[in-house]
Amino acid sequence: MSHVGHADEPDKRTLRREILTVRGRLPADDVRATAAALAQRALDLPELSQARTVAAYVSVGSEPGTLALLDTLHTRGVRVLLPALLPDNDLDWGVYTGPGSLDRVRHGGKMALLEPSGPRLGPDAVTAADTVLLPGLAVDARGMRLGRGGGSYDRVLARLADAGARPALVVLLYDPEVVGRVPAEAHDRPVHAVVTPSGVRRFPGGV
């Protein structure tokens, strides 16, 4: 039975807290090793190896690492878009041209984020992406994704839908974060694939 409305919020909060606690205990060496494995697995995906434009993000803290992947995509000539957080939690976008194109930005009391230092392209720039890498905390057997709860990527997904854009949606996770079921709401849509250090899992329901 699917969860609808606000009834699932306590379940989401509990699951987020559990996953973030486990991530917070990961040794830095494990995070670095995982980033290399994730990049290797992800680059085997046609959605990434054949993309002209990829909207991605810079991992922070103990998140599954993305920098190795970003660098390889950029070296291969892929146009990589990275988000910049706006005051209303929406996302603007800029182009990644290597590690020197990132600024560390602190938003209020939140963790500092690495954001593109170049010109801003506007929130609609994401609609040009062939593939969108979504941050997440878990994905279930249906391809439903649990986000961090800030709502930024809900806006991105709504913007893509409004524009009629249909990029591939991919999530990078640690292996234990592919779970049996994530609380989902009526408007949630499955992703196309999840990449973990041990491999790739696809979801035919991804739209």
Q: Which residue ranges are tagged as binding site for ATP? A: 12-16, 145-153
Torsion sign, CA atoms 95, 100, 106, 111: positive
- Which residues are documented as binding site? 12-16, 58, 63, 145-153
Q: Cα(8)–Cα(49) distance, rounded to whole angstroms?
A: 36
- Which residues are documented as binding site for substrate? 58, 63
Residues 6+ apart with CB under 8 A from 23: 61, 62, 63, 174
Give the angle 50-155-138 at the CA atoms, nearest 5°. Answer: 70
Q: How far apart are the first and last CA of the chain?
A: 21
